[in-house]
Structure 1
């Protein structure tokens, strides 16, 4: 019997990935690819403010 895979939408890249291919923070999902990229991103990198903005959405949605 084929098991249906649960997918979640990443709050960083917006792609749907299998639930086990990432992490859940509060009620949001971050895919493994974005997690790895964020951890390796230097604070002086142009992508850093984007990641911060996306991560803030976790708390904004939680407190709305």
Structure 2
């Protein structure tokens, strides 16, 4: 049985992806992140969403 988790990028529930610390990134978002140029309009959105992973860690620690 596969575990279904919510992606921190697209916020959809998916089965396949990677675990980054305490966050899940689905396969589709991972591929889009690694192929996005830094001057693309979606780049800053990815950066902000990925920053939320650090915020979650701080909430867990505190």
- TM beyond 0.5: yes
Q: Report the count of equivalent residues.
A: 59
Pair 1:32-2:30 in alignment? no
> 3-state DSSP class of the match of 2:24?
strand
> 3-state DSSP class of the match of 1:45?
coil
In structure 1, which of residues 37, 41, 64 is the aligned counterpart of residue 36 of structure 2? Answer: 41
Q: Which residue number in structure 2 is paired with residue 51 of structure 1?
A: 46
Greater C-alpha radius of gyration: 1
> What is the CA RMSD across the aligned residues, in angstroms?
0.7
TM-score (norm 2): 0.91
> 3-state DSSP class of the match of 1:29?
strand
Name structure 2 gaps, 5 residues minimum. Answer: none
Measured after TM superposition, the shift of residue 9 of structure 1 is: 0.2
Name structure 1 gaps, 5 residues minimum. Answer: none
The ranges of structure 1 where at least 4 consecutive aligned residues each deviate by more than 4 angstroms after the TM superposition are none
